[in-house]
């Protein structure tokens, strides 16, 4: 779509930052703009896209097809399956670019990211449309992903300016001048997931680059186009060649190679626990010629619980049921923050489930481009894995809703699925499923509910719905998760408002969109000068 750029408004002070507003899809004009963008995108499917290494295009013999999971006969785009040689070239290009990019004035770097935010605002509907087709998000979910990306561009640029303008204060010492400042690390490998294909891919890359590092972005197989789209935005904004290198390819080939490479200083990863643990382990090994210990930040999912206490207010109970529905089945349960365990106080159990099931029955399932609430899961492999868990649930627990595939001749759809009579130690209450499957448990004592909530190896998000201030405070003190939400859904973190990242096997505690996130991409340096001789 042709971009008509408005006059740039570039932010330079901390107080200027504001979160990007979401589109109002009750407004028919906004709906029509998305539909028009989808028509444009559908007229541009199945094109081939190169790798970008040092600003130059490269192709490989093997290809990757990005498939629309809602209509798997539709090829979104064709991408290169990069080779080891091309991955080596990317490292060399990033290392070369680091020598100049790392020395560029902070304000000049920030200017590029502010400009990119404005470009993305102008191309918002196009970005939404591509995302709807590539990963099966509905309009609101895709819009939130794009808005989050705009927030990262501006928030991290602001944060880097703040770090530059507000150096750490050190204690005075007689006869010396002492100061403390930050330096970038070097080459950073960014390995994002497909479920937030623009926001997470861009967020990790932006943090690395604004801090003065250079990046090799290796996208998920299922979301290559959205990473390519981010690359094109940054290129249009004036990012120098080699600062961001787009390298589509297999994780088992180029991903492993990059993680082990002696010139790579850091790996920023979001994805499955098993892959994250392996990256963490491999990065700890020192390769021949390596002069540093690598840093790793890894966000690895969750088994998130919502506790609904003994609520007396019927309107509040209705609100809690709607919040659980959105948390569990928004984007087909394919968010690391999604609710997969529901803990209900025994006094409200039957009433809540009656309200909740009526709401679930009204969920519309179908094509994301038609803006149905639920669309497909990401691919055939994911669908099969989720169905395996559903079969386990059928054997161990009581299926009260769903449990079936839908529209098998078109895409990878699964009904919202709910199990009761679930014990805390059961498979579907312990293992991350990453799909629309909810395990429901009953409790009488709030202490026991907290114990259940903390009983998995994860600790990403959680929520508590309660009218009891004592129980709310107990949750604040004892519910062990990186993002705890009181009387609201457990999904939908906003940059600068809800810094996001988890405990235990949910990750390395780095809080994306928070005030200290950039420090993971920097190294502190103390300089001391003696004044008296």
Least Cα distance to 475 among 452, 441, 503 occurs for 452
Segment 353-380, tens digit of pLDDT: 999 999 999 999 999 999 999 999 999 9
Q: Which two tokens stand for residue 122?
A: 């102008």
Give the pLDDT band (50/70/90) at residue 8.
low
The count of other CB atoms within 10 Å of the CB of residue 376 is 27
Whole-angstrom CA distances from 404 to 368, 417, 418 are 19, 8, 11
What is the average per-residue pLDDT within 105-121? 97
pLDDT of residue 129: 98
The mean pLDDT of 115-138, rounded to a whole number, is 98
Question: How much is the average pLDDT of 182-210?
Answer: 98
Measured between alpha carbons, how far is 87 from 218 in angstroms, rounded to an integer? Answer: 10
Looking at residue 203, what is its pLDDT?
Answer: 98
The structure tokens 């899809």 sit at: 25
Q: How far apart, in Å, do the first and last CA atoms of the chain sit? A: 67
Token readout for 80 is: 């290169």
Longest alpha-carbon distance in the chain? 83
What number of H helices and E strands is found in the chain?
Answer: 15, 21
pLDDT at 16: 76
Q: What average pLDDT does range 132-155 have in this prediction?
A: 98
pLDDT at 7 over 50: no
Q: What is the pLDDT of residue 168?
A: 87
C-beta separation of 318 from 355 below 8 A? yes
Q: What is the pLDDT of residue 9?
A: 52
Higher pLDDT, 448 or 17: 448
Length of the chain: 533
Q: What's the pLDDT band for 509 if we cut at 50, 70, 90? A: confident
pLDDT in tens, 250-306: 999 999 999 999 999 999 999 999 999 999 999 999 999 999 999 999 999 999 999
- pLDDT confidence of residue 1: 54
**Which residue reads 């902070």 in tokens?**
106
- 28-300+510-524 is classed CATH 3.40.50.150: no
With CA atoms as reference, report the closest residue to 101 among 259, 245, 290: 245
pLDDT score recorded for residue 15: 57
Asked if 96 and 54 count as a contact pair (C-beta separation under 8 A), the reply is yes
The domain ranges of the chain are 28-300+510-524, 304-495
Both tokens assigned to 109: 């770097």
Helix %, strand %, coil % of the chain (to 5): 40, 20, 40
DSSP at 374: B
Structure token pair of residue 530: 């003696």
Confidence band of 3 (pLDDT split at 50, 70, 90): very low
Q: How many CB atoms lie within 10 A of CB 533?
A: 4
Confidence of residue 2 (pLDDT cuts 50, 70, 90): very low
Ordered alpha helix ranges (H), 344-484: 349-361, 380-396, 427-430, 446-453, 469-478
Cα–Cα nearest to 416, from 454, 461, 476, 376: 376
Using DSSP, state whether 520 is helix, strand or coil. helix
Which tops the pLDDT comparison, 3 or 196?
196
| Candidates 224, 336, 339, 490; catalytic one | 336
CA distance 421 to 406: 25
CATH code matching the domain that covers 304-495, chosen among 3.40.50.300, 3.40.309.10, 2.60.120.10, 3.40.50.2300: 3.40.309.10
Which pLDDT does position 510 carry in this prediction?
A: 94
Write the DSSP string, 261-310.
-TTEEEEEEES-HHHHHHHHHHHHSPPTT--SPPEEEEE----EEEEE--
Alpha-helix residue ranges (DSSP H) falling in 23-176: 28-42, 84-101, 106-122, 124-135, 139-165
State the average pLDDT for the chain. Answer: 96
Residue 518 DSSP one-character state:
G
CA pseudo-torsion sign 224, 226, 229, 230: negative
Active site residue 299: yes
The single residue listed with the structure tokens 């639920």 is 374
Helix (H, G, I), strand (E, B) or coil at 82: coil
Give the pLDDT of residue 10.
52
Is 336 among the residues known to form the active site?
A: yes
pLDDT in tens, 15-61: 578 999 999 999 999 999 999 999 999 999 999 999 999 999 999 99
Residue 334, SS3?
coil
Q: How confident is the model at residue 5 (pLDDT cuts 50, 70, 90)?
A: very low
Name the active-site residue from 141, 299, 420, 432.
Answer: 299
Q: Do 438 and 398 touch, CB atoms closer than 8 A?
A: no
């Amino acid at each position: 779509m042709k971009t008509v750029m408005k006059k740039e408004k570039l932010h330079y002070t901390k107080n200027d930052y504001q979160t990007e507003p979401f589109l109002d899809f009750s407004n028919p004009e906004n709906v029509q703009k998305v539909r028009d963008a989808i028509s444009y995108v559908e007229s541009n499917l199945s094109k081939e896209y190169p790798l970008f290494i040092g600003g130059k295009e490269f192709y490989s013999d093997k290809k990757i097809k990005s498939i629309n999971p809602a209509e798997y006969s539709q090829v979104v785009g064709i991408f290169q399956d990069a080779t080891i040689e091309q991955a080596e070239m990317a490292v060399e290009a990033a290392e070369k670019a680091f020598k100049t990019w790392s020395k560029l004035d902070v304000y000049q770097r920030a200017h590029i990211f502010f400009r990119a935010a404005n470009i993305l605002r102008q191309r918002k509907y196009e970005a939404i449309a591509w995302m709807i087709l590539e990963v099966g998000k509905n309009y609101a979910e895709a819009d939130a992903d794009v808005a989050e990306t705009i927030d990262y561009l501006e928030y991290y640029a602001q944060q880097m300016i703040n770090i530059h303008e507000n150096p750490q204060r050190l204690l005075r010492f007689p006869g010396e001048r002492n100061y403390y400042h930050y330096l970038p690390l070097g080459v950073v490998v960014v390995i994002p997931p497909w479920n937030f294909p623009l926001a997470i891919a861009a967020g990790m890359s932006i943090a690395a680059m604004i801090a003065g590092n250079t990046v090799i972005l290796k996208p998920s197989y299922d979301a290559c186009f959205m990473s390519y789209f981010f690359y094109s935005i940054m290129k249009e904004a004036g990012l120098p060649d080699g600062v961001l290198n787009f390298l589509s390819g297999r994780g088992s080939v180029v991903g492993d190679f990059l993680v082990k490479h002696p010139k790579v200083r850091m790996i920023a990863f979001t994805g499955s626990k098993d892959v994250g643990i392996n990256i963490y382990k491999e990065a700890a090994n020192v390769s021949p010629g390596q002069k540093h210990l690598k840093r790793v930040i890894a966000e690895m999912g969750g088994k998130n619980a919502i506790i609904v206490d003994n609520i007396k207010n019927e309107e509040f109970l209705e609100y809690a049921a709607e919040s659980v529905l959105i948390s569990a089945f928004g984007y087909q349960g394919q968010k690391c923050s999604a609710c997969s365990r529901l803990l209900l106080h025994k006094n409200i159990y039957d009433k809540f489930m009656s309200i909740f099931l009526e709401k679930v029955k009204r969920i519309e399932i179908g094509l994301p481009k038609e803006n149905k609430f639920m669309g497909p899961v990401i691919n055939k492999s994911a669908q099969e894995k989720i169905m395996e868990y559903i079969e386990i649930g059928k054997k161990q627990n009581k299926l009260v809703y769903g449990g079936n595939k839908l529209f098998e001749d078109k895409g990878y759809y699964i009904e919202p699925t709910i199990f009761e009579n679930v014990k805390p130690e059961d498979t579907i209450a312990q293992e991350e499923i990453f799909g629309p499957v909810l395990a429901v448990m009953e409790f009488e004592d709030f202490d026991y509910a907290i114990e259940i909530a903390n009983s998995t190896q994860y600790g990403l998000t959680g929520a508590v719905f309660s009218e009891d201030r004592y129980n709310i405070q107990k949750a604040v003190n004892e519910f062990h998760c990186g993002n705890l939400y009181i009387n609201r859904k457990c999904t939908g973190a906003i940059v600068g408002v809800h810094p996001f990242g988890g405990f235990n096997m949910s990750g390395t505690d780095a809080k994306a969109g928070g005030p200290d996130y950039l420090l993971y991409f920097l190294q502190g340096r103390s300089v001391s000068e003696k004044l008296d001789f």
